[in-house]
Amino acid sequence: MSDIRGSVVDDEALAALTERARREVDEGLLPTAQWALAVDGEVVAGETIGEAPAGEDTRFVIFSCTKAVVASAIWQLLAEGSLRLQDRVADLVPEFGSNGKDVITVEQVLLHTSGFPLAPLGPGAWDTREGRLAAFDRWRLNWEPGSRFEYHATSAHWVLAELLERIDGVDHRTAVRRRVLEPLGLERLALGVDATDAADVARVRNVGDPPSAAEWEAVLGIPGFDLGEVTDDALLLFADPANLSVGVPGGGAVSTAADLALFYQALLSNPDELWDPEVLADATDNVRNTFADPQTGVPANRALSIVLAGDDGQAHMRGFGHRTGPRAFGHGGAGGQIAWADPGRGSSFVWLTNGLDRHLIRQWRRTSGIASKAGAATGPDA
């Protein structure tokens, strides 16, 4: 064991993590990757691997890792009393109340149980508030709110963004920056990046070939996997420099691995009580959604817009690998991106890439392997 900047890290496990994090880049399967391990408020290890001129200041589109950042601003509204979990969204955003959506609560939106997982919103409509509100009015339900779980890849967080805007009186990108990013000094983590300021963002691209039907059958017992909204083309659309300025709240932020790891450190330490301690504990440690994922059958294990590892032996199916503690929490992103904190060890870990591997089975195994190595690097739960 070594004392790195005052934090105890297992040297052998750290070497194994480094080797595993580099593997697919070294083998030419991914163009670039970056990772960071933080403990007790400091980044203690990490690197950027891959194509020049990639370096420690290179930023990556973090896709659905964005969700935890946006949710953390909503948690502040809950503490202030300007928003309550039982509030009906339509009481605050009347444009949303059409087509039976008037019964949907804030809690259901945060838990992905609100019933509009595939509601469309894209370029042309998402560029303006008027366009977004018009889309809300058109959206319809796929199933009864609160009756099941299905991942809302982008739709639910557009509603959260509008709630921020209604209550704070500023654009959702500004609200997130003022409430969370600026107080924490996270200058490389941003929601809404103009194309003129995106030169340091690694350009996203698809790599690899999809699994064959035989491979799907061998792993899941089915001939394929429904990507839903998260298709190759949709992800490239979110990551296009022309669209990064929109600040898609469910998947459009950019960051370095270090800044995102430090965001999770802040959720562990709550500096200057940026979040109300009771609300933060509820948001990061109270499972409110145990509905089964319709694709995998694994319980969702969701708190308020984030995922908990759990103690049911399924943490690796939720992006945490096999070696984190049961109270680890976080939210991964497309491409197999990893972002979590482990309260039992005071650690957080982030792994990012600009390569969207079409071979989802390989991507899932990569995520599990890297996350497991990261979990082992800081030893057993305290």
Residues 320-345: what's their mean pLDDT?
95
In eight-state DSSP terms, residue 178 is: I
pLDDT reported for residue 213: 81
pLDDT reported for residue 238: 79
Structural domain includes residue 99: no
CB 348 within 8 A of CB 340: yes
Backbone angles phi, psi at 95, to 5 degrees: -60, -20
pLDDT reported for residue 51: 82
255: nearest Cα among 305, 205, 304, 193: 193
How far is residue 257 from each of residues 38, 337, 365, measured CA to CA in Å?
10, 10, 20
Structural domain includes residue 252: yes
CB 27 within 8 A of CB 61: no
Structural domain includes residue 179: no
Rounded (10°) CA dihedral 312, 318, 320, 326: -30
In eight-state DSSP terms, residue 85 is: T
Instruction: Map residue 317 onto helix, strand or coil.
Output: helix
Structural domain includes residue 334: yes
pLDDT reported for residue 4: 45
Q: Which two tokens stand for residue 336?
A: 């197999």
Pairing of β 190-191 and β 307-308: unpaired
Per-residue pLDDT band for 215 (boundaries 50, 70, 90) equals confident
**What would the pLDDT profile of 243-299 be if each residue is shown by its tens digit?**
999 999 999 999 999 999 999 999 999 999 999 999 999 999 999 999 999 988 999
In one-letter notation, the amino acid at residue 115 is G
Residue 243 CB contacts under 8 Å (≥ 6 apart), including other chains? 123, 237, 252
Q: Which residue has the higher pLDDT, 165 or 4?
A: 165
Structural domain includes residue 159: no
Alpha helices in 66-205 (DSSP H): 66-80, 89-92, 106-111, 129-138, 155-168, 172-176, 182-184
**Angle made by CA atoms 136, 138, 139, in degrees to the nearest 5:** 65
Structural domain count of the chain: 1
Per-residue pLDDT band for 300 (boundaries 50, 70, 90) equals very high
**Looking only at Cα atoms, what is the longest distance across the chain?**
59
pLDDT reported for residue 157: 97
CB 278 within 8 A of CB 288: no
Q: Which two tokens stand for residue 216?
A: 């799907």
Residue span of the structural domain in which 15 resides: 2-64+202-269+310-377
pLDDT reported for residue 108: 98
The half-sphere exposure of 10 on its side-chain side, counting CA atoms within 13 A, is 14
Structural domain includes residue 328: yes
Structural domain includes residue 192: no
**What would the pLDDT profile of 51-100 be if each residue is shown by its tens digit?**
866 788 999 999 999 999 999 999 999 999 999 999 999 999 999 999 99
213/82 Cα distance (integer angstroms) = 50
Residues 35-43: what's their mean pLDDT?
96
Structural domain includes residue 81: no
Directed axis angle between helix 129-138 and helix 155-168, to 10°? 130
CATH at 22: 3.40.710.10
Q: Which two tokens stand for residue 184?
A: 């924490």
Per-residue pLDDT band for 222 (boundaries 50, 70, 90) equals low
In eight-state DSSP terms, residue 196 is: G
